Structure 1
Amino acid sequence: MTRSMEQIPFGRPMIGDEEQQAVAAVLAGSILVHGPKTLAFEEAFRQFTDAPHAVAVSSCTAGMHLFWHEHGLGKGDEVVVPAQTHVATAHAVALTGARPIFVDADPVTGNMDVSRVESAITERTKGIVVVHFLGLPADMTSLAMLAKRHGLLLLEDCALSVGASLDGSHTGLWGDAGVFSFYPVKHMTTAEGGMVITRNQDLAERLRLIRAFGVNRTHGERATPGVYNVPELGFNYRMNEINAAIGIEQVKKLPGFLTKRAENRNTLADALADIEELTPLASGNDRVVHGHYCLSTLLPQGWEAKRSALIKGLKERGVGSSVYYPHPVPRLDYYQNQYGYRDSDFPSAARISDTSIALPVGPHLTPDHMKRIATAIKETLVGW
């Protein structure tokens, strides 16, 4: 089937004249790194999340790796990690030499099953990393109490939860730190980049030090240009001024982006309600504000092979879709080969990975597009 029609892409960076002009202004100047734009972006994002401290980094993965490195994780240590997440969540742990201990997903929400976390904790456990799956805040009240009771670090992977909150507190402010992603199709973008927020001033200062080689003086603090010391090992995980300039403009647009996402998600959910083959993941309760990265819906069990046909049918009708995520992380080759995890250990995560389809709700789309998506699904399912 080939049709000439308007395409509905799964995601698209929302870059306008403001971002282009901001980038042009940076390129017309002489400071491309270690400059005022990064500081301004940190402040803008800090204010948006109501965080005491914000530290810009080169990516969400870099921010998570910095956090675990700063807390001295290494060989012999363990961190509890959701099985249903992007591989970066686990990589940030494994890169320190520590071992990720995976916990299955809640089959209704996709978030980590809190009831299984305590049984994963051993004498080697140093921390827990929680993911707010597709923008739905996890049960941070229970997880924070659990981490405190066992004396564990608690890191929030907020890659898909910009704008999401629980009991009025933005995601990222419940644990020791939260890390965000600004990849091109996320809630906002800096082309590439990330941000760490925290209530801990000492941690923020330490992260600023080790994100830039461990150099002890910024350019503005050097009495003699080019003269500094390096008291410890660090990384090249800083954000540049071009990325930060884009981010400043994107933060200004975030409220509008988030409003459109919520409107699109609600319209799409209503339009899908009479399709009995679909079971959308839960969207939360009155305690949460959902980030609505996408609308992920499950197909019936046994339809694993049919998902590809549905995705193909949607593509033929001009509708983009995706899968979050194609495998539970412990099923990926590296983690199977390195640690010997069995797929049967994570049945809920496997069900979500194998039978879910992620539908777009981004601000590049309208409620009318949502109705078109639902119609395309119904047309594809006819005769199944």
Structure 2
Amino acid sequence: MTQARKIPFGKPWITEAERNAVLGVLAGDVLTHGPQAHEFEKEFAAALGNGHALTLSNGTAALHLAYWQLDIGAGDEVIVPAQTHVATVHAVEMVGARPVFVDCDRATGNMTPDAIEAAITPQTRAIGLVHFVGIPCDMPAIMTVASKRGLKVVEDCALALGTRWDGTHAGLFGDAGTFSFYPVKHITTGDGGMLVTRHEDLAKKISKARAFGIDRTFAERTVPGVYDVLSLGINYRLSDINSAIGREQLKRLDTILERRARNFSALKKGLAGLEHVAVLDVTAAGQTSSHYCLTAVFDGPLADKRTEIIRRLNAAGVGTSVYYPHPIPRLQYYREKYGADLARFPNAARISDQSIALPVGPHLEVDDMNYIANELTTIVRDLTCSKKN
């Protein structure tokens, strides 16, 4: 019998560098509105290769500010994926707009340009897309649709740090891109987020809106405590403590992405040829995934065995997750409010009900991938044989 291991799904990679960076901030006089946040923004934009970056308290705050400052609101429709984290759609609700749900592609989990175009109505004002588990949407084609129809585009890149299409980073195609730094994401700040945009005017609006609409920062005030308020705003700032952690994490981003790609490739290879198991991945040249996790979708005799597979993997020490537990229209709040025909989202339901997310993070080695592949292969073959008998 194989010796059970302890392989967590996700684990923050924290070193002495992060600890020392936090102590450095605590030894100073500025804990927020300070230089760490500003430097983190500049370094993050440089890592992506373009655009303006703005630190925010979390990824949901970034989404909310994007729609709010793009003037999306009551009476507007925003096309969103049925298959995503609820934050993607909550942000649309928070500005008073109506989400219009679209099913995802079977092979990638992403909305397709054709499905988006078919959902457009005279009330459509924006497209809120998600690069599902770091697999890039077809951004050139989607931007063509958006440009033709005069629509704003918000890219939810919560799992897509490192995702690119022909060299352009996710988040830099649309009007705004949003990132999350929750502990198990590609990099973490403890919690936090970032918004990126190619538009300088939008960056300036969001910079003010994240800090009450106040006209000047502490450093810009000639008289301490004296300022004006130019617009409605909210407190969505990220502290210098969080930003200092993020700066150190960002220094290791290339290594993090290399390890994730290596692990994903090894695990996918280990599952190749396994009957009734499909792996979601990029489908065209020029696409680069961030390899947040490996999503394995079960079909045929395994379609209703997801819970059993998870139980056995967990018993073998393999951490798993589910992305995501339900298509958004099936969640109680959205089901009761909009009553969408759930039969319209078969691919989202298939991924939600029949898939598991397997770990490929930088805390793991290729040997761990081989262990996961061997365990899953044994489980699948056992369940498949049981189904036949």
Q: Which moved more, 1:231-240 or 1:300-309?
A: 300-309
Counterpart mapping for 1:41-52 below 5 A? 41-52=40-51
**In structure 1, what is the equivalent of residue 31 of structure 2?**
32
**Partners of 1:161 and 1:257 in 2: how far apart?**
13
Alpha-carbon displacement from aligned partner over 1:109-147 (angstroms, at most 9, x marks no partner): 111132111121111111001111111110001110111
**Partners of 2:55 and 2:94 in 1: how far apart?**
20
**In structure 1, what is the equivalent of residue 250 of structure 2?**
251
**In structure 2, what is the equivalent of residue 164 of structure 1?**
163
**In structure 2, what is the equivalent of residue 111 of structure 1?**
110
**In structure 2, what is the equivalent of residue 139 of structure 1?**
138
Counterpart mapping for 1:273-288 below 5 A? 273-288=272-287
**Partners of 1:177 and 1:349 in 2: how far apart?**
25
Counterpart mapping for 1:1-384 below 5 A? 5-301=4-300, 303-384=302-383
| Amino acid across the alignment from 1:270 | K
| SS of equivalent residue, structure 1 residue 383 | helix
**Partners of 1:332 and 1:90 in 2: how far apart?**
11
Shift of 1:275: 1.5
**Partners of 2:327 and 2:287 in 1: how far apart?**
25
TM-score by length of 1: 0.97
Unaligned runs of 5+ in 2: 384-389
| SS of equivalent residue, structure 1 residue 285 | coil
**Partners of 1:302 and 1:138 in 2: how far apart?**
30
Q: Retained in 1: the 8 A contact 2:75–2:123?
A: yes
TM-score by length of 2: 0.96
| Amino acid across the alignment from 1:114 | P
**Partners of 1:333 and 1:265 in 2: how far apart?**
34
Q: 1:334 to 1:222 in 2, by over 3 A?
A: same
Alpha-carbon displacement from aligned partner over 1:16-51 (angstroms, at most 9, x marks no partner): 110011011111222111000000100110100012
Q: Retained in 2: the 8 A contact 1:79–1:125?
A: yes
**Partners of 2:173 and 2:226 in 1: how far apart?**
39
Q: Retained in 2: the 8 A contact 1:104–1:348?
A: yes
Shift of 1:4: 7.3
- Aligned pair count reads 383
| Amino acid across the alignment from 2:298 | L
**Partners of 2:227 and 2:302 in 1: how far apart?**
61
**Partners of 1:325 and 1:284 in 2: how far apart?**
21
Q: Retained in 2: the 8 A contact 1:331–1:342?
A: no
Unaligned runs of 5+ in 1: none
Shift of 1:378: 2.1
**Partners of 1:82 and 1:305 in 2: how far apart?**
24
Q: 1:70 to 1:194 in 2, by over 3 A?
A: same
| Amino acid across the alignment from 1:260 | R
Over the matched positions of the two proteins, sequence identity in percent amounts to: 49
| SS of equivalent residue, structure 2 residue 252 | helix
| Amino acid across the alignment from 1:173 | L
Shift of 1:379: 2.5
Alpha-carbon displacement from aligned partner over 1:157-182 (angstroms, at most 9, x marks no partner): 11111011101101111111111111
| SS of equivalent residue, structure 2 residue 125 | strand
Shift of 1:69: 0.7
**Partners of 2:172 and 2:185 in 1: how far apart?**
20
Q: Retained in 2: the 8 A contact 1:336–1:342?
A: no
Shift of 1:343: 1.5
Q: Retained in 2: the 8 A contact 1:42–1:56?
A: yes
Q: Retained in 2: the 8 A contact 1:301–1:355?
A: no
Q: Which moved more, 1:274-283 or 1:223-232?
A: 274-283
